Amino acid sequence: MFSFTKEQKVFDLSGIPIGGQPGMYPTVLFGGLFFKGEPDFDDAKRHLRTIYELCKQTGVPVIPDFFIRKVEYIQPILSFIEKAIPKKHPFSIDIIEPSIKIQTLEQLASRKLLPRTIYNSIHIGITKEENEALRAYTPEAAIIVAFNPKDTTPDGKIEVLENGAHLLEAGLLEITRHIGIEKILIDTAALTPGENSGAAIAAIPVIKEEYGLPTGCAIHNVVEKSRWLNDFPFAKKTVDVASNNAIPLFGGDYAIFGPIENAELVVPLIAWQDILVSEYTENYFGISPVASHPRRNLLK
């Protein structure tokens, strides 16, 4: 368990704090919706009710992460967000295709949703058009993926943040700040097994100490790509859920845990881990948890 000498930034994401020294704030979770097929809004509404109940019960915040795969899904998903997400609550938009990113940013602006939007994500593949769209329609916060195709070590992740691994004109941090985004979350880029996937966890304390920025990752992606686990289907779900424990244990601030239907398993698990981290960091480093922390909510 860690305490960092670098001053740790804490950002307010529409009422949800993220960052700081380990043990101070609860780990923030991102749960994904609409990864496959057509969006099922009735099912999504049910899962949203579940996560907000879990948040209230445990103190662990969960932010819905909406995956938009097709242009024709932009309007219905944003309309759903307007109706189903409580006003002033944050949400994340997860998009791969740059052209869809740009059209979604325009629609978020027209609906006045940008102040609640976490942009997922800015990475080494950012295009000129995407950069311009982000400057015109700037979200409240952004996730930066520290993927370096030339060097998968923690040092390589630092390099892409600092200078774009010399594949971009500037580092991803400079690019993001030039856009006008100050609330920056670093994703340490969990890779396929055999490609130094463990560096995603090892890089968390390195980046926290270097920049003091909120840091986490989608470590469950490594589980999804571990094909050998398909021979152990009962264990695979356990490994998928439990993998998220490594993030707060290594000082991380958030976990992108995959499909939102796993929230009922992941949220109590992270609450448990947050309690352990908080007990140690308060006793050893004097870091007191905030009133909303699972240790305050659940140990009464």
Residue 4 lies in a domain: no
What average pLDDT does range 124-134 have in this prediction? 97
**Spatial separation of the C-alpha atoms in residues 61 and 219, rounded to whole Å:** 18
Q: How many domains does the chain have?
A: 1
Residue 5 lies in a domain: no
Residue 99 lies in a domain: yes
**Spatial separation of the C-alpha atoms in residues 253 and 41, rounded to whole Å:** 29
CATH code of the domain covering residue 214? 3.20.20.20
Does the pTM of the predicted model rise above 0.85? yes
Return the pLDDT at 300: 76
Q: What share of the chain has pLDDT > 70, as a percent?
A: 100
pLDDT digits (tens, 9 = 90+) for 165-177: 999 999 999 999 9
Taking Cα atoms as reference points, which of 110, 131, 129, 111 lies closest to residue 119? 131
Return the pLDDT at 128: 96
Residue 221: how many other CB atoms lie within 10 Å: 19
Return the pLDDT at 2: 83
pLDDT digits (tens, 9 = 90+) for 58-103: 999 999 999 999 999 999 999 999 999 999 899 999 999 999 999 9
Residue 136 lies in a domain: yes
For the chain, give the mean pLDDT. 97
The pLDDT-based confidence of 51 (bands split at 50, 70, 90) is: very high
CB contact at 8 A, 287 and 24: yes
Return the pLDDT at 275: 98
Is pLDDT at 139 greater than 90 in this prediction? yes
Is pLDDT at 1 greater than 80 in this prediction? no
Return the pLDDT at 76: 98
Return the pLDDT at 195: 93
Instruction: Domain of residue 160: give its range.
Output: 10-298
Return the pLDDT at 172: 98
The pLDDT-based confidence of 125 (bands split at 50, 70, 90) is: very high
